[in-house]
Amino acid sequence: MKSLPPGASKAPIKFRMPTAENLIPIRLDIEIDGQRYKDAFTWNPNDPDSEVVSFAKRTVKDLKLPPTFMTQIAQSIQTQLAEFRSYEGQDMHIKEKIVPLKIDLRVNNIVIRDQFLWDVSNFENDPEEFARTLCEDLNIGDPEVGPAIAVAIREQLYEVAAQSVSSARETRVGKKGRRGIENVTNSKTGNSALDLLKLFGSKGSVIRKRKEWYLYEPIVDLLSNEEVGALDAREELSAR
């Protein structure tokens, strides 16, 4: 059990990932000379920066990529780490906030779509654990699926957390008369938090209406090799 206070809203805490482990999602999408490298994983921001270079070296070696990728990979990771560090040290104003998270992923030949509610203020939540349970329950044997789901969750949480910092900044700025920006950011993300009082108050029920069940149910599709090829080609096109 983490000793973090469950009601994080009371005392503002320094920025971090709103999860049990402070791991940040890193997404790489690098294309050099027609060769494309896509990857997503988590990174511990407390690791020394020398790790980044050695990780890049190791990745290039393992995947037999041309050496030009090495600098690109290291650079991309560094940029994303730097972004995270720019938030670090700032206060995070997360009131209790339950947001719907959406998963729409394709890993190899498995497509998984899912939607569920996540309490951003619950620092005990563990995306990796959740993803593992999900894969176990759905009998997904591909070991790449679980981490992919966890990274997807972390990305969305990261976004929310970053917003909580920036929105706090915006409100401060907004007092000086620039309220418009806050509205823009809110509507842009579309991560509308649930009305907690309505749902968890004395009147509502936490049991979802039966006709809405399908919305919050994971859907797993197994694609044939041809479909995978077609999707790859389409992604290639859209990327250009």
Residues in contact with other proteins by the rule CB under 8 A: 5-7, 96, 98, 116-119, 121-122, 124-126, 129-130, 133-134, 136-138, 194, 196-197, 199-202, 205-208, 210, 213-214, 216-218
Sequence-distant (≥ 6) Cβ neighbours of residue 149 within 8 angstroms: 103, 105, 112, 114, 127, 130, 131, 134, 135
In this complex, which beta carbon is closest to other proteins, that of residue 78 or of residue 191?
A: 191
Q: How far is the CB of 202 from other proteins (least distance, A)?
A: 7
- Cβ distance to other proteins smaller for residue 30 or 194: 194
Closer residue to other proteins, CB minimum distance, 58 or 95: 95
Least distance in angstroms from the C-beta of 213 to other proteins: 5
Residue number, 52 or 94, with CB nearest to other proteins: 94
Q: Kind and range of the H or E element at 232? A: helix 225-239
Three-state DSSP class for 187? helix
Nearer to other proteins, 56 or 149 (CB): 149
Cβ at position 204, least distance to other proteins in Å: 8
Q: For the CB of residue 171, give the shortest distance to other proteins in the complex, in Å.
A: 21
The single residue listed with the structure tokens 């679980």 is 146
CB of 46 to other proteins, least distance (A): 23
Query: Residues in the chain, how many?
Result: 240
Give 11's DSSP letter. Answer: S
Those residues whose C-beta lies under 8 Å from the C-beta of residue 51, and which sit 6 or more positions away, are: none
DSSP 44-89: -TTS-THHHHHHHHHHHHHHT--THHHHHHHHHHHHHHHHHHHHTT
